[in-house]
Amino acid sequence: MPLSSNAPVPGAKEFYPLNDPEIGTDEKIPLLFQPVTIGGTTFKNRIFVSPMCQYSSSNGHATDWHLVHIGGFATRGAAAIIMEATAVVPEGRISPEDAGIWTDSQIEPLRRIVQFCHAQGTKIGIQLAHAGRKASTLALWVKNNYAAASVEQGGWPDDVYGPSTIPFADKFATPKEMDEAHLTYVENAFVEAIERCEEVGFDFIEIHSAHGYLFHSFLSNLSNVRTDSYGGQPLENRLRFPLRVIKSCREAWSKPLFVRISASDWAEGPEKADDGTWKQWGIEQSKVLAGELVKIGVDLVDCSSGGNWAQQKIPFSHGYQVPFAESLKKAYPSLNVGAVGLISDPEKAEGYLQEGKADIILLARELLRNPHWPLTAAKALGVSMKVANQYERAA
């Protein structure tokens, strides 16, 4: 910020006015367009593309749709793109048309996308996932989609797994409770997926621990009623399996590691009852989780919410999840935190960064509506943003 007096350069032999900011810099560049370094990797700005399921994969393999969809973001100014939830095992897909990285033949289609993004100077990561009890469901646009996909529809309703035998909703599959052998199988699958990510050339990885999928369902006592060391009232039990896998992922991956969490189940009632028992997953437990992720060496927490309770009541509005990100940032100032949630207004997005509520801004639906949002934001904030050479005559 500009000085209020004509201060001298400290330690100079004569009086020279102190330049603050330094000569050659521009104090007016908004934080949204300033570089940020996370886990040793520098991103050119703080606009990230959230993972968005496309339900357009061929037996888990990326297609030309993904090349065009992801490639379009790479040419329009975002610093980083997170590819959609990508299952580490076939039965861990959300839908029959979901992305996967459980076999080597899935490497090359992903590598083609990564190489194109890198050619445009854009970082790209992938969200590794297991859908848990919400697996084997229909694509969003299929009529009566809020239900399990049958075998005839390409689904696997009898091969769905979760922490407990509690289905997500009436028309969803009833999951099988994971035993120790299956827990180890899934953990190993994440590590093997990371080895494939190395071959593909991704710049970072995000572990999906949100939206009611496998890891979130272990965290919440609405979906985890186990009586062993992986469930029940004790928070450390419900944290145990997600942290175990994330720790293994951290040991296997040297580049930036992100984790997406749901900071609240948005179920009715308090997070904790007057008698001290946990009633649902919420921000207080999320702060404990974030602290454990810091210890493991996770580089960024991508702070979302919801998805684990079919009757959730969410107060949708611009930036409605930002208060959760702010809470995590206040609890762990050194932790990089991403804000997401119907963010569309550039001035408000810049405000979240300026106020220290988050370190990066993630957008999803707004980028589907307007892939050129980085340029829109630059104009709104008075930034002269470089556009792709091929698009300059329109700028």
Q: Residue 117 in contact with residue 201, Cβ under 8 Å?
A: no
Q: Rounded to an integer, what distance in angstroms lies between the CA atom of residue 75 and that of residue 386?
A: 11
Kindly list the structural domains of the chain, giving each domain's residue range(s) and its CATH number in brackets, ordered by start: 31-394 (3.20.20.70)
Using alpha carbons, select from 153, 171, 166, 83 the residue that is nearest to residue 122. Answer: 83
As beta bridge partners, residue 58 has 61
Residue 33 half-sphere exposure, CB side, CA atoms within 13 Å?
A: 22
SS (H, E, C) 248-261: HHHHHCCCCEEEEE
Residue of 16, 146, 185, 213 marked active site: 213
Q: Please enumerate in sequence order all residues whose Cβ is within 8 A of that of 82, keeping only pairs 6 or more positions apart, or say none.
A: 48, 49, 50, 51, 124, 125, 126, 127, 206, 258, 362
pLDDT at 391: 87
As beta bridge partners, residue 50 has none
pLDDT at 1: 41
Residue 3, pLDDT above cutoff 60: no
User: Which of 15-24, 52-61, 157-166, 279-288 is predicted least confidently?
Assistant: 15-24
Tokens standing for 220? 């919440």
Residue 2, pLDDT above cutoff 60: no
Q: What is the largest CA-CA distance in the chain?
A: 83
Residue 19, pLDDT above cutoff 90: no
Whole-number average pLDDT of the chain = 95
Residue 296, pLDDT above cutoff 70: yes
The pLDDT > 70 percentage for the chain reads 97
Q: What angle do CA 383, 388, 394 make, to 5 degrees?
A: 75
Q: Rounded to an integer, what distance in angstroms lies between the CA atom of residue 257 and that of residue 269?
A: 33
Residue 384, pLDDT above cutoff 60: yes
Q: Please enumerate in sequence order all residues whose Cβ is within 8 A of that of 216, keeping only pairs 6 or more positions apart, or say none.
A: 132, 209, 210, 223, 261, 262, 281, 307, 308
pLDDT at 14: 87
Read off the pLDDT band of 24 (50, 70, 90): low
Residue 318, pLDDT above cutoff 80: yes
**213 belongs to the catalytic site:** yes
pTM over 0.75: yes
pLDDT at 26: 59
* 181 φψ region: left (φ > 0), alpha (ψ -120 to 50), beta (else): alpha
Read off the pLDDT band of 322 (50, 70, 90): very high
pLDDT at 25: 59
